Amino acid sequence: MTQLSAIRVSEGLRNCAAIAGMQGSELWLGPQLVGGRNNEVYEVCGSEQQLCIKFFRDDRRDGFHREVTLLRVLAATMTSKVPVVLAADEDSTSVLMSKIPGIPVTDGNISRKLAVGILATLTQLYAVDPGSMHLPDVAWPPLRMLARTSSMIGEALGEQARADWESSSDRLRVPALLGAENRRSCVGRGDPALDNILWDQEVAHLVDFESGGRSDVVHEVAEFLEHPQHRLLDSRFKCELVERLLRPEDLLGLAASRWLLRSFWSVRTVGIDRQASLNGLIRVESLSEIGSLPVEPLMEGSSRRPSS
């Protein structure tokens, strides 16, 4: 946890309450809720509404602005499925918002009812057209992630390994596929981790948009499929996600995004052996192999399944 000072937390709650037109003296902090390395989240008591307050680290002001911007953009179209911002205090980088019901989804067995709920919510989110909205890109758009992956390989194995990776045939194909004109712009989450989905037995709600922004549907789906926490998810659920959100013409772009994300996560999470070959380090299928995934039937009675 970030271990913010009690003074700053109290000041943030007081300032946010004033901005929202509420009596700060009547509100108090309840239990700390699930948070991450970049923030702390507390339940807020003393109001008829179910509220919480989120505090960002000082060096995460960009995340503070992203979260506030995206939640306000989504307020009209994603009513009740994302938190509603009541107040945002720049000085304490805190956001007072509605408290979403439910518990975080885990990577265990996803029931059919939960799968339907997640697919419905993600479909609704990615149908939002950012159009002319003044949104930043997601914190890690594809080409930035490509550059970061190259840098990490250089740091781990040296410049020759980096040069070999950058000149590989798959790597040379990826930028054009990531920037294909037929990719569809959307509002992206930036962090697809399952525990950023809260399930109340009826609706799948989305939280944590501090890395979100303008993205594209293909890369968003790839991020969900390749997130390290999701490797054990049922392949049929992954296939249905692809069928629901993507078109046949998206699948080669999906393969490029998955190849990039597997490279990125492999270098980031696998222990580095400086004597290992580059292929041994990354352990990524070729782009053509990924292009044929997923291979499971999408659902019982499905008439289509992705192919390269």
Rama region for 168: left / alpha / beta (φ>0; ψ in -120 to 50; rest): beta
Q: How far apart are CA 299 and CA 303, in angstroms?
A: 9
> What is the SS3 assignment for 108?
coil
Q: How far apart are CA 120 and CA 290, in angstroms?
A: 26
Q: How far apart are CA 243 and CA 297, in angstroms?
A: 10
In the prediction, which pLDDT does 284 show?
46
In the prediction, which pLDDT does 165 show?
84
Helices and strands: H and E segment counts in the chain: 11, 10
Give the ranges where the chain is alpha helix by DSSP (H). Answer: 6-19, 61-74, 112-126, 142-157, 159-166, 169-178, 217-226, 235-245, 251-269, 278-282, 287-290
Residues in the chain: 308
pLDDT tens digits, one per residue of 91-133: 999 999 999 999 999 877 789 999 999 999 999 999 998 887 8
Give the ranges where 200-307 is alpha helix by DSSP (H). Answer: 217-226, 235-245, 251-269, 278-282, 287-290
In the prediction, which pLDDT does 265 show?
85
- Kindly state the tokens that stand for 190: 């930036």
The secondary element (H helix, E strand) that includes residue 103 is strand 103-104
In the prediction, which pLDDT does 307 show?
34
Candidate CATH numbers 3.90.1200.10, 2.40.110.10, 3.30.200.20, 3.40.50.300; the one for domain 104-290: 3.90.1200.10
In the prediction, which pLDDT does 35 show?
64
In the prediction, which pLDDT does 207 show?
95
pLDDT in tens, the chain (308 residues): 456 677 788 889 999 999 998 876 688 889 988 766 778 999 999 998 999 999 998 778 999 999 999 999 999 899 889 999 999 999 999 999 999 999 999 877 789 999 999 999 999 999 998 887 889 999 999 999 999 999 988 887 788 888 988 888 888 888 888 876 667 899 999 999 898 999 999 999 999 999 999 999 999 999 999 888 887 788 888 889 999 999 888 888 888 888 888 888 878 765 544 444 444 444 444 555 555 444 333 233 333 333 33
Residue that has been written with the tokens 């609704």 in this structure: 124
In the prediction, which pLDDT does 83 show?
96
> In the CATH scheme, what is the code of domain 6-99?
3.30.200.20
In the prediction, which pLDDT does 213 show?
95
Instruction: Give me the residue spans of the domains in the chain.
Output: 6-99, 104-290
Let me know the angle formed at the C-alpha of 164 by 161 and 170, rounded to the nearest 5 degrees: 130
pLDDT tens digits, one per residue of 56-65: 987 789 999 9
In the prediction, which pLDDT does 283 show?
43
Which residue, among 214, 218, 174, 211, has the nearest Cα to 192 in the 3D structure?
211
Intrachain domains 6-99 and 104-290 with the same fold: no
